[in-house]
Structure 1
Amino acid sequence: MTYARNLIYMGMLTCLGLILTACDVANNNSSETAGQASEMDPYVHMSMRRIESPYEYVLDDIKNAIAERGIKINNISHIGNMLARTASDVGASKQVFAHAEAIEFCSSTISRATMEADPHNIVFCPYIITVYALPDDDNITYVSYRRPTPVGSPESQASIKAVEGLLEAIITAAVP
């Protein structure tokens, strides 16, 4: 029963990934998502949302949205703290972030499908969602991730789009 449920879930995520990718291409001027206008666009390889909410709330909501899917967070990289801690060591004086974390996780179901489609797709795992706030605005938080580029066979491409579908579903559940 679990295997059948996972296959259904994988199919649903694949469809969601395809739908979201099509929506992004059709709506590339969205203020929420960096568009896919062209390869020259510096944001073509990322999805970014600007949320009017305190950082701590958004971070907790993203972590909860991951956990609600039965996915374990592998690691949280404290990028903002690292940059602040090492600033004087590298001769820097600019504060880049007020807060910045990268949340790393993996879905066994989606990762397996992606790597069964093509073992070289291992490069797309783990998945990372970043949550950060800039120094000058306490009530604006950004959530972003690197867009996985669909490559290989049609099966491989569909499985990679399911990865993006999962990332979008997590973010949408956390910050609708």
Structure 2
Amino acid sequence: MKRIVLAALTALWGGAAAAQEVVTYPFDGSFDDATFSVESAIVSEGLVVDYVSHVGEMLNRTGEDVGSDVTLFEAADVFLFCSAVVSRKVMEADPMNIAHCPYGIFVTDREGAVEIGYRTFPEGPMQEVQALLDGIAKEAAGQ
């Protein structure tokens, strides 16, 4: 039973991610300044960063192990967090919106170009989450 549920969730998340788009904003400054700005913008909304995934470090560390010499990012972090208020609202509208939680805002540095962004969400109740992420990303990017 656990394997069936895990397979179903994997298919759901995989399908959802494939259909999603990404919104990015340029950041005029260093990667470290951008990560500080993102964390500050999240906290200023009264939210708590649950986890920071250091995706760039992982990709750089494992590239050779998987047979690649391509540097995707000089640095890349994803800030994961949730909003009790917004999450409850969107999950009361549809409990399967749990598939979108936690929410993430990423910071990337590619060849000196630093960006802040997030993935988009489906139409309907999840647009409230998207608006929250857009506001945080814009604030962090100084837009």
TM-score range, shorter chain: 0.7 to 0.9
The whole-number CA distance in structure 1 between the counterparts of 2:39 and 2:97 is 25
Partner of 2:46: helix, strand, or coil?
coil
Larger strand fraction of residues: 2
The whole-number CA distance in structure 2 between the counterparts of 1:87 and 1:166 is 34
Tell me the CA shift for residue 67 of structure 1.
Answer: 0.7
Extract unaligned runs of 5+ from structure 1: 1-41, 151-156
One-letter amino acid matched to 2:22: M
Aligned to 1:115: 91
Give the TM-score normalised by structure 1.
Answer: 0.67
How high is the sequence identity, in percent, across the aligned residues?
Answer: 31
Shift in alpha-carbon separation, 1:44–1:77, aligned structure 2, 3 A? closer
Partner of 1:103: helix, strand, or coil?
strand
1:4-35, Cα deviation, whole Å (9 max, x unpaired): xxxxxxxxxxxxxxxxxxxxxxxxxxxxxxxx
Tell me the CA shift for residue 53 of structure 1.
Answer: 1.5
State yes or no: 1:165 paired with 2:118. Answer: no
Extract unaligned runs of 5+ from structure 2: 1-17
Whether the 8 Å contact between 2:25 and 2:117 is mirrored in structure 1 is: yes
The whole-number CA distance in structure 2 between the counterparts of 1:118 and 1:91 is 42
Aligned pairs, number: 125
Whether the 8 Å contact between 2:25 and 2:138 is mirrored in structure 1 is: no
Whether the 8 Å contact between 2:79 and 2:105 is mirrored in structure 1 is: yes
Report the aligned-residue RMSD: 1.7
Give the TM-score normalised by structure 2.
Answer: 0.82
Partner of 1:70: helix, strand, or coil?
coil
One-letter amino acid matched to 1:117: A
Aligned to 1:105: 81
User: Which segments of structure 1 move beyond 4 Å, counting only runs of 4 or more?
Assistant: none
Partner of 1:123: helix, strand, or coil?
helix
